[in-house]
Amino acid sequence: MNIIIIGCGKVGMTLAELLSAENHNIVLVDESPAKIQAIPESLDALRITGNGASIGVLRDAGIREADILIAVTGQDELNLLCCLIAKKAGHCHTIARVRNPIYNQEIGFIKEQLGISMIINPELTAAQEISRLLRFPSAIKIDTFAKGRVELLKFRVRPEFRLSDQPIHQISSLNNSNILICAVERGGDVSIPGGNFILRDNDVLSIVASPQNAARFFKTIGLKTNQVRNALIVGGGKIAYYTARYLQEMKIDVRIVEISQARCEELTELLPEATIICGDGTDRQLLMEEGLGEAEAFVALTSLDEENVLLSLYAQAHSRAKLVTKVNKISFTDIINNLDIGSVIYPKYLTADYILQYVRAMSNTIGSNVETLYQILDNRAEALEFAIREKSQVTDIPLAKLKLKKNLLIGCINRNGEIIIPRGQDSIQVGDTVIIVTTQKGLDDIQDILGR
């Protein structure tokens, strides 16, 4: 497809790299000559310097032939204007990043009146992820499918779980909890395991299960499943605001440390039930005085990645809190993964996942559709949910008889609300939604799971 991306910041460049890797034709537009020049030569994309809301610039970018325009500049109003003009000039699908909380209650109206296909709020999306993690603090990461009926949970194997040296086929049926271990990370290696795969302490497992079965499994191996009762947040930006809103709905006590006096005053008005502390979050004495030692969750959301990492390392050493660390840049992912800083949130990847999901759904030409998509395992694998619209080569055939691609697993079947962890005799039927976990990138249709 022909895709125009307005804005060459972190999200724009992440999208360009992901979409270019899937052989789409990409045009990048940005007003800053420095940002255009900084685009790597290895990225196969046309580069245009200019205002994405200018009809002349959009014509140069090929708006008449474009299938999708994605506006992810740093200005909400500019993103909306780019989409409005693109819709009138080229009749393409449009996606806008809109971050201001003022617009959050008006998203439906804006989409309908401006004809925008999709509006994404990275800070709100990150806050939703954080709230899920604090509901289930033992997990490193939680992704949801089938409108919340199915979860993909990631956790680390500890010696006290007594899972080491056991094959997966024995563990998956432990206490009839009906879960599926769909991925294992060991050191720098990622595996989509078979039933005879032997687990080791310190492995990081990803499991697919219903929330009830996941809770039963974690209780069996001795992992805490109750949500936290209080949270200490450092950094009072948009993510902190949205996160506090979600946590308060969950009856979780919230304390926010923010260095800006003006922002503290805003948060006090916006979040009257939260405790707002005006101070430097890197002040160790302040953190201890504000209850770090007793905190059940510690969330580092400052604007500096390095500060967030150091804060979480300090919290890890001085508390038993569930740690959540926001990271924007990912140049040192391998180092971050070796640090014990709990769950790491990458807002730009969360945003890219939702947009990529929409693009994949548009690419579909047969009888299924990408409903949900997550980049998982440090972007080395994907978890996708397909809605099965009509009969195909994969329907009504026992799974044991399907010749699947390598490093691909059918994780779950949702059939009219019934969650099925599939076995060899099960089959995919029209009307199902099916969750696939794979290191094979670029699946657009359920038939893409078949090998040649």
What is the predicted pLDDT for the residue at 10?
Answer: 87
What is the predicted pLDDT for the residue at 79?
Answer: 95
Query: Which 3 state secondary structure label does DSSP give 132?
Result: helix
What is the predicted pLDDT for the residue at 242?
Answer: 95
**What size, in residues, is the chain?**
452
The CA distances from residue 410 to 118, 182, 383, 405, 437, in Å, are 28, 9, 10, 11, 7
Does 408 reside within a domain? Answer: yes
In the chain, which stretches have pLDDT less than 50? 366
Does 430 reside within a domain? Answer: yes
What is the predicted pLDDT for the residue at 431?
Answer: 93
Out of 67, 99, 120, a domain closes at 120
Could you tell me if 335 and 443 lie in one domain? Answer: no
What is the predicted pLDDT for the residue at 358?
Answer: 84
Query: Which 3 state secondary structure label does DSSP give 74?
Result: coil
Could you tell me if 305 and 410 lie in one domain? Answer: no
Name the residue range of residue 92's domain: 2-120
Beta strands in 175-215 (DSSP E): 180-186, 189-191, 204-209
The CA distances from residue 120 to 72, 206, 324, 387, in Å, are 9, 26, 22, 22
| Domain containing residue 45: CATH number | 3.40.50.720
Does 139 reside within a domain? Answer: no
User: For residue 41, what are its two tokens?
Assistant: 């030569």
What is the predicted pLDDT for the residue at 176?
Answer: 67
Tell me how many domains the chain contains: 3
What is the predicted pLDDT for the residue at 111?
Answer: 84
Give 383-420 pLDDT, tens digit per residue.
Answer: 999 999 899 999 999 999 999 998 899 999 999 989 99
Does 171 reside within a domain? Answer: no
The CA distances from residue 333 to 234, 305, 324, 329, 336, in Å, are 22, 12, 15, 9, 5
Residue from 346, 381, 360 nearest 3 by CA: 360
Give the single-character DSSP code of 67.
Answer: S
Could you tell me if 324 and 432 lie in one domain? Answer: no
Could you tell me if 245 and 330 lie in one domain? Answer: yes
User: For residue 102, what are its two tokens?
Assistant: 């003022």
What is the predicted pLDDT for the residue at 413?
Answer: 94
- In 209-346, alpha helices (H): 211-221, 238-249, 261-270, 284-289, 305-318, 333-337
Does 173 reside within a domain? Answer: no
Could you tell me if 366 and 425 lie in one domain? Answer: yes
What is the predicted pLDDT for the residue at 189?
Answer: 85
Does 425 reside within a domain? Answer: yes
